[in-house]
Structure 1
Amino acid sequence: MSRSDQILADADAVLTRTSDRYRSLSARTRQRRNAAMMRKIKRISGAILSILIGAAVVGWFLPLGANGIMIVLGLILAAVLLFGLTGGEQRVQAEKLAETDIKALPLQTEIWLDNQRKALPAPAVQLVDSIGVKLETLAPQLATLNPQEPAALEVRRLLSDHLPELVTGYQAIPEPMRRQERNGRVPEKQLIEGLSVIESEIDRMTQQLASGNLDSLATHSRFLELKYQEAKQLGAPQSLAEPGPS
């Protein structure tokens, strides 16, 4: 294979991996929305069933009549409206991100960002999608991280302070002024540049956390190798599998 063919093959592989990640992001968004819809349907169905059972019990002793039937239909309509307007897709408030557990923060930030898409320009939406993919990669790295460690505080500051402030600051600017230059700066361009910096920072944090895990794995691996060598020198490799009495 020629060098140019290899370059094309590598580029195609990168595009494939990126496409797979974006599909995964879209699939998770659909799953969340489908789950919210199913919760609504279950609540509405349960309420209607309860109303009908209650009406049947009452009708067993007293005829409902036209007024009773109208009351039942009114209750059913009220239940549909009540549960149809509540219990939908999870809404995350920007000010609540600071209170979110560090392990859940990437997903909560992703949900919040997804809800902001319609209010952002197209180039910013592409960056939001990319940030969502990187948050998916970051999440497992935070699963065992102490919330008080400097790395955790840095992640929290970026996701619950800097990112929401950047997006909400842009949204607070009136629509006609978002593409107008003021003091040498254009708000839309500032937003895109800021999101790009945040995307790079999330990538850097993920790599640093992963590097720490790899270093820890290497340390444990060397420890096990030393223990194995000691056991061999003692002529008792079975001690690894058969711990002695405490």
Structure 2
Amino acid sequence: MARDYSDVDAQIERAREVMARISADYAGTGKRVRRKARSAGRKLVRILVANALILLAAMVAGFFVPLGLFGGLAVMLLMAAVTIGIMLAPAERVVTEEKLRAVDVRALPAQTERWLERQRPALPPPARTLVDQIGVRLETLSPQLANVPNDGEAAYELRRLIGEQLPAFVGDYQKVPPPLRAQVRNGRTPDAQLVDGLKLIDQEIAMMTERLAQGNLDSLQTRGRYLEMKYRDGDQG
């Protein structure tokens, strides 16, 4: 009977892991879609503004020098070239490990998330799920840093974890030749070591977020007790 319960517990735990993985994948996919939509929107605005300025400049020039057929054609070609150039330009500047070490702590979660997103395709599927989950954690952490001083202890711990250790850890994995990543060494494969390390980092980010939000949580609890005492208990009296 104990064995049956053990099997059931194992199946429940596996089901929980699958659900957590699906949830992280869904959240990560949603974030990537939103990021791409914002990027496309910004490019569209740049294209419209650039083409409007070109047309305005052409109209002003036309008051002094008739553009003629070739002038109009040149304006159209210039507009087409600018449009193509903006469409093909990188949406955002590439985030490097060096930049992560120097960025302001309030911008660090977003920058680390962008850096992780670029590494994601080169990682094994279980690690990609964890990268998505860490991305959600970082998105939750970011608002908590509004009042965190850049030279404080919390900023130092955060910078060390997600600005130094996380990129260095993923970078060390990527330096391992792909054929060796699934080979067992000292009892574990590099793929498994990557997943285990990302799990620890994910847990630590969650604990950091909770510590930073502790004051807000305490304030909410105090406010809730006050409301209960003033209104609910008062009504009963």
- TM-score greater than 0.5 by the shorter chain: yes
Encode CA deviations 1:167-209: one digit per residue, 9 max, x unaligned.
1222233333322345665322221121111112112222333
> Partner of 1:38 in structure 2?
41
Q: 1:92 aligns with which of 84, 91, 95?
A: 95
Q: Distance in 1 between matches of 2:80 and 2:121?
A: 31
Residue 149 of structure 2 is matched in structure 1 by 146
What is the alpha-carbon root mean square deviation over aligned residues? 3.5
Q: 5+ unaligned residues in a row in structure 2: which ranges?
A: 1-14, 225-237
Using the TM superposition, give the Cα deviation of residue 34 of structure 1 relative to its aligned residue in structure 2, in angstroms. 1.8
Distance 1:22 1:90, change over 3 A: farther
* Gap change, CA 1:65 and 1:172, over 3 Å in 2: farther
How far apart are the structure 2 equivalents of 1:95 and 1:76? 37
Q: How many pairs align?
A: 211
Give the equivalent residue in structure 2 for 1:77.
80
- Does the 8 A contact of 1:39 with 1:87 survive in 2? no
Decide which of 58, 64, 82 is 2:67's aligned counterpart: 64
Q: Residue in 1 aligned with 2:124?
A: 121
In structure 2, give the amino acid aligned to 1:73: M
**Quick check: 1:44–1:83 contact (8 Å CA) kept in 2?**
yes
| TM-score between the two structures when normalised by the length of structure 1 | 0.69
1:123-202 correspondence runs (5 A): 123-182=126-185, 186-202=189-205
The code of the aligned residue for 2:140 comes to: T
- Separation in 1, partners of 2:218, 2:59: 67
The alignment's TM-score, normalised by the length of structure 2, stands at: 0.71
| Offset from partner CA, 1:83-136 (integer Å, 9 cap, x none) | 223361454222211222222222221222122211111000011111122223
Q: Looking at both structures, which has the greater relative contact order when contacts are Cα pairs under 8 Å and sequence separation is at least 6?
A: 2
Measure the CA separation in 1 of the matches of 2:192 and 2:95.
Answer: 26
| CA deviation vs aligned residue, 1:191-241 (integer Å, no higher than 9, x gap) | 1121111112112222333446556888999xxxxxxxxxxxxxxxxxxxx
Partner of 1:103: 106
Q: Any idea what the Cα deviations from partners look like across 1:26-72, whole Å, max 9, x if unmatched?
A: 44443332222122111112222222233333344444344323422
| Distance change in 2, residues 1:65/1:208 (3 Å) | closer
The 3 A distance-change label for structure 1 pair 214 and 74 is closer
Percent sequence identity over aligned pairs: 45
State how far apart, in whole Å, the 2-side matches of 1:190 and 1:45 are: 48
Q: Which has the larger radius of gyration?
A: 1
In the TM superposition, residue 153 of structure 1 has moved relative to its aligned partner by 1.0
| Helix, strand or coil at the partner of 2:149 | coil
Provide the secondary structure at the position in 1 that maps to 2:131. helix
Letter in structure 2 aligned against 1:35: R
Alpha carbons of structure 1 residues 147 and 49: separation in structure 2 relative to 1, 3 Å: closer
Alpha-carbon offset, residue 141 of structure 1? 3.0
